[in-house]
Amino acid sequence: MDYATNIFKHIETPNIYLYTALIDGYISSGFYLDGIQAYARMMDQLNELDPFVIASILKGCGLELALREGKQVHSQVLKIGVSPNRSIQMKLIELYGKCGEFENMRKLFDGMPERDVGVSTVLISCYFRHGLVEEACAVFDGVLEKDTVCWTAMVDGFVRSGEMNKALEVFRKMQRENVRPNEYTIVCVLSACSQLGALELGRWVHSYVSKYRIKFNRFVGSALVCMYSRCGSLEEAERVFNEMEERDVSTYNSMLAGFAIHGKSSEAVKMFREMVKLGFRLNHISFVGILNACSHGGLVDLGLEIFRSMTEDFGIEPRIEHYGCMVDLLGRVGFLEEAYNLIKGMRVAPDRIIWGSLLGACKLHGNLKLGEKVAKLLVDNGEADSGTYVLLSSIYASSGKWKEAAEMREKMIRRGIEKEPGCSSIEVRNGIHEFLLGDLRHPEREKIYKKLEDLNQLLRLEGYSPATNEVLHDIEDNVKEWALAIHSERLAICYGLISTEPGTPIKVVKNLRICNNCHTMIKLVAKLTKRKIVVRDRNRFHHFEDGLCSCGDYW
pLDDT in tens, 490-503: 999 999 999 999 99
Whether 5 and 41 map to the same domain: the answer is yes
Render 281-306 in DSSP notation, one character per residue.
---HHHHHHHHHHHHHHT-HHHHHHH
If one counts every other C-beta atom within 10 angstroms of the C-beta of residue 33, the result is 12
pLDDT for the residue numbered 477: 52
If one counts every other C-beta atom within 10 angstroms of the C-beta of residue 202, the result is 26
Whether 380 and 413 map to the same domain: the answer is yes
pLDDT for the residue numbered 469: 56
Whether 506 and 470 map to the same domain: the answer is yes
Residue 179, Cβ density class (10 Å: 0-12 exposed, 13-18 middle, ≥19 buried) = middle
pLDDT for the residue numbered 361: 93
Q: Which of 405, 420, 435 is the last residue of a domain?
A: 420
Q: Which of 400, 420, 440 is the last residue of a domain?
A: 420
534 pairs with which residues across the strands?
Answer: 507, 543
Task: Return phi, psi of residue 542, to 5°.
Answer: -120, 120
In a domain, 222, yes or no: no
First to last CA, the chain: 47
pLDDT for the residue numbered 473: 46
In a domain, 539, yes or no: yes
In a domain, 17, yes or no: yes
pLDDT for the residue numbered 478: 55
Residue ranges making up the domain that contains 70: 1-115
Cα(121)–Cα(47) distance, rounded to whole angstroms? 33
Tell which residue, 105, 232, 146, 143, has the closest CA to residue 533.
Answer: 232
239-244 LR contacts (CB < 8 Å, sep 24+): 240/206, 244/216, 244/218
Cα(211)–Cα(205) distance, rounded to whole angstroms? 10
Q: Which of 115, 150, 167 is the last residue of a domain?
A: 115
536 pairs with which residues across the strands?
Answer: 509, 541
In a domain, 104, yes or no: yes
Q: Are strands 506-510 and 533-536 parallel, antiparallel or unpaired?
A: parallel
Whether 392 and 427 map to the same domain: the answer is no
Whether 15 and 34 map to the same domain: the answer is yes
Helix %, strand %, coil % for the chain, to 5? 65, 5, 30
pLDDT for the residue numbered 53: 94
Cα(127)–Cα(138) distance, rounded to whole angstroms? 10
Provide the number of structural domains found in the chain.
Answer: 3
Cα(5)–Cα(276) distance, rounded to whole angstroms? 32
Residue 147, C-beta contacts closer than 8 angstroms, at least 6 positions apart: 117, 179
State which residues of the chain have pLDDT below 50.
Answer: 473-475
Whether 404 and 443 map to the same domain: the answer is no
In a domain, 328, yes or no: no
